């Protein structure tokens, strides 16, 4: 899993906000409302994301409808998993990560762990 480039991130965020599926035209119209961007730039970025395996696509008329392979949470979790696997001391990485969490985040993490234990026990 690799981190997206700047424009790839913008396009993926837009796709996720559209429910994970859209045509180039739909993404272009949303992005162009916020900042000037060329249709061909959006087209080539989405094609690049497709070739890299981050998107799938289906032919719909003359256009393609693209769909994200992972939802936003799945992608973020994969990046976190990769960060934990970098280097030899994943415990130190995890310790620093958890050490930087707010009390609210720690409470949510504790609840997720409790739920996971409850699911695997049954």
d(CA 83, CA 67): 25
pLDDT tens digits for range 7-43: 999 999 999 999 999 999 999 999 999 999 999 999 9
pLDDT range class, residue 116, cuts 50, 70, 90 = confident
Check residue 6 and give its pLDDT: 93
**Distant-in-sequence, close-in-space partners of 3: CB < 8 Å, separation ≥ 6:** 79
pLDDT of residue 22: 97
pLDDT tens-digit series, residues 37-89:
999 999 999 999 999 999 999 999 999 999 999 999 999 898 888 888 876 78
Indicate the pTM of the whole model: 0.78
Backbone φ and ψ for 3, nearest 5 degrees, come out as -70, 140
State how far the Cα of 40 lies from the Cα of 13, in Å rounded to an integer: 18
Chain segment 87-98, per-residue pLDDT in tens: 678 788 888 888
Residue-level pLDDT at 122:
52
Residue 61's φ and ψ, nearest 5 degrees, are 65, -125
**How far apart, in whole angstroms, are the C-alpha atoms of residue 106 and residue 93?**
16
């Amino acid at each position: 899993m690799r981190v997206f480039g700047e424009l790839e991130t913008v396009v993926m965020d837009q796709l996720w906000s559209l429910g994970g599926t859209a045509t180039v035209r739909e993404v272009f119209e949303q992005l162009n409302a916020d900042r000037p961007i060329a249709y061909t730039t959006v087209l080539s970025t989405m094609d690049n994301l497709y070739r890299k395996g981050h998107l799938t696509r289906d032919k719909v008329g003359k256009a393609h409808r693209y769909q994200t392979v992972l939802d936003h949470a799945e992608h973020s979790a994969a990046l976190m998993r990769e960060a934990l696997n970098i280097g030899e001391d994943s415990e130190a990485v995890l310790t620093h990560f958890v050490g930087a969490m707010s009390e609210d985040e720690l409470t949510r993490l504790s609840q997720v762990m409790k739920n996971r234990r409850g699911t695997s026990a049954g």
